[in-house]
A and B are shown apart, each in its own frame.
Chain A
Amino acid sequence: MQYLLMIYSEENGWNQMSASERQQGVAAYQAYTESLKKADVLVGANRLQQTNTATTVRLVDGKPQVLDGPFSDSKEQLAGYYLIDVPNLDAAIAWASRCPGAAHGLMEVRPVWTAPYEAPSVA
């Protein structure tokens, strides 16, 4: 099954770090990504730019309404994600708990939607 591991963290934390702390942070993510690749479970991953770059769009009366800022105003924001393919939720939770994001923020684990009961695609 595919699971999206979403990293939620406080952006200020990152901004307040020293250059060497940031370097260490990046290295931890690189090592984690490497271990996902080695285990052959990584489907995709991305780090996102900070929420001051975010734009919210929705249709109001059929016209796009565009607003500056992220959808949710909460302190913890989506900072990036890993998409992994593992046998079950326990394996997904195990990978999520190893992610550096679990230490400096929190991880949300969500299974990827498949049509009800549909066979997982044979990759």
Chain B
Amino acid sequence: MAAAVNADGAARSIAEAVARRSYGKLVALLAMRTRDVAAAEDALADAFAAALADWPERGCPANPEAWLMTVARRRAIDGARHRRVGDEVTNQLTILADEIDEREAGALPDRRLALLFACTHPALEAAIRTPLMLQVVLGLEAKTIASAFLMSPAAMSKRLVRAKNKIRAAGIPFSVPEREELPDRLAAVLEAVYAAYAEGWTDPLGRDTERRDLTGEALFLAHLLVELLPEEPETLGLLALMLYAQARCDSRRDAAGDYVPLSAQDPATWNAPMIDAADSLLRRASAFNAIGRFQLEAALQSAHVHRCRTHRSNWDEIVQLYDALFAIAASPVVAVNRALALAERDGPQAALDALEPYADDPRLADYQPYWAARADLLARVGATAEALGAYDLAIGLERDPSVRRFLQRKRIELSSARGWIGTS
């Protein structure tokens, strides 16, 4: 009995490990010719269920990935016959089976890159690309993804189904785009990976375990992209950027769970090997002499790390990096961050002047960092009443309770320092 339980547990943990490592690889192979992602996922789910029944009794196969592929492909053919979907699909699956059988075990071709490009195709709704990628390449459940993206599981499932249906019915190809299209298409892949990271990052305490996992999943995808496209500087830049952020992940909160801004963090608590890895990725990227958004953002992180470690001001360099970033990827968010650097170099009034054109920008109306930045800058130039108003907005917009407490404390300090009781 105990042996059976152990065998069961061993089978389960191997199946889980294979699922983690190989899910996207197997979906890519199964769906490559038919473009039917949903059918591939169903077949794969059947194969995992079969593995959990079979492996405890007969022992785990030497090559679990190949075992799962064989079973899943057989299920896919059965499923195609059952649905009477026509000989074409069955033929395609049989061809696929032959192609794979000719290869030696363990050498399944890796078509995940093509799958990533399909999931982030511009013909798909932009907001569904990241969730789709998380599900199809990593096997995350719709309800996990839904919670990370603050959406109901039913709504998320519906949109995922619609996207998969479009891939199949509209003929979205599973292929790596041609050279002239590659930069734009790759940008969409990288953006989707970064969006997954950003969603995970917004829950620093990891109270929501599902969401904390998302940073890990995004890092896995970024590593995968570097492995699959080692010659693309922006993939290196993205991984560097994510590692710089990840290295400081735990330092954002003190022991009491309160928010610690970057300037108050102790660099000794940062993950040094991770920063070293980011540094070397960024060096590798810059050797290609093709600057891009993610490289610049990573370079900014690197500059912040350097300043905090050496206590030597480098705001001039940071403003220049923001200028370069603004030139290739202008956005109000970049403008806000640039203004904060400008405040350190040229004073708060210069920063407020730089933000003036965005005063009525609807894209910033509910962007918390904008109001927090404005509050800080206004307080520094002595416009206390306006600063308090901006703090109110920032506090009202913040989702994270510890950041909210931080902002509330700053607001109280400001109002008591100037003898203000309140604005309204």
Contact = CB atoms under 8 A, between A and B. Distances in A.
A116 B173 contact: no
Interface stretch (B125-133, B164-172, B248-256, B346-354): B164-172
Nearest to A91: B173
A88 B173 contact: yes
B247 to A, nearest CB: 38
B273 interface: no
Contacts of B121: 89
Contacts of A111: 169-171
Contacts, number: 42
Interface in A67-123: 87-90, 92-93, 111, 115-120
A115 B350 CA distance: 64
A115 B87 CA distance: 13
- Most chain B CB within 10 A, of A3, A89, A93, A119, is at A89
Contact of A117 (B86, B170, B173, B175): B86
Given A89-B170, A89-B171, A92-B171, A117 B80 contact: yes
B177 interface: yes
A48 to B, nearest CB: 24
Given A93-B123, A117-B80, A88 B171 contact: yes
A58 to B, nearest CB: 27
Given A89-B123, A93-B123, A118 B86 contact: yes
Interface residues of A, number: 15
Contacts of B171: 1, 3, 87-89, 92, 111
B88 interface: yes
B175 to A, nearest CB: 8
A117 B88 contact: yes
A89 B89 contact: no
Contacts of A117: 36, 80, 83, 85-86, 88-89
A117 B76 CA distance: 13
A3 to B, nearest CB: 8
A1 B87 CA distance: 16
B172 A118 contact: no
A1 B172 CA distance: 11
State which size class the interface on B falls in.
10 to 19
A112 to B, nearest CB: 10
Contact of A89 (B36, B80, B173): B173
Contacts of B181: 90
Contacts of B86: 115, 117-119
B158 to A, nearest CB: 19
A117 B80 CA distance: 9
B123 A120 contact: no
Contacts of B169: 111
Nearest to B92: A119
A111 B396 CA distance: 47
A119 to B, nearest CB: 3
B77 to A, nearest CB: 13
Contacts of B87: 119
B165 to A, nearest CB: 10
A1 B167 CA distance: 13
A90 B177 contact: yes
Contacts of B123: 89, 93
A86 to B, nearest CB: 8
Interface in A22-50: none
Given A93-B123, A117-B80, A117-B83, A87 B88 contact: no
B237 to A, nearest CB: 26
A85 to B, nearest CB: 11
Nearest to A119: B88
Contacts of A115: 86
A117 B85 CA distance: 5
Nearest to A90: B173
- Most chain B CB within 10 A, of A90, A93, A116, is at A90
A33 B408 CA distance: 66
The 6 closest A-B pairs by CB, nearest first: A117-B85, A119-B88, A88-B173, A89-B171, A88-B171, A1-B171
26 contacts: A1-B171, A3-B171, A87-B173, A88-B171, A88-B173, A88-B175, A89-B121, A89-B123, A89-B171, A90-B172, A90-B175, A90-B177, A90-B181, A111-B171, A115-B86, A116-B83, A116-B85, A117-B80, A117-B83, A117-B85, A117-B89, A118-B85, A118-B86, A119-B86, A119-B88, A120-B88
Interface of B: 36, 80, 83, 85-89, 121, 123, 169-173, 175, 177, 181
Interface of A: 1, 3, 87-90, 92-93, 111, 115-120
Given A89-B123, A111-B170, A119-B86, 12 more contacts: A1-B171, A87-B171, A89-B121, A89-B171, A89-B173, A90-B173, A90-B181, A116-B85, A117-B36, A117-B83, A118-B85, A119-B88
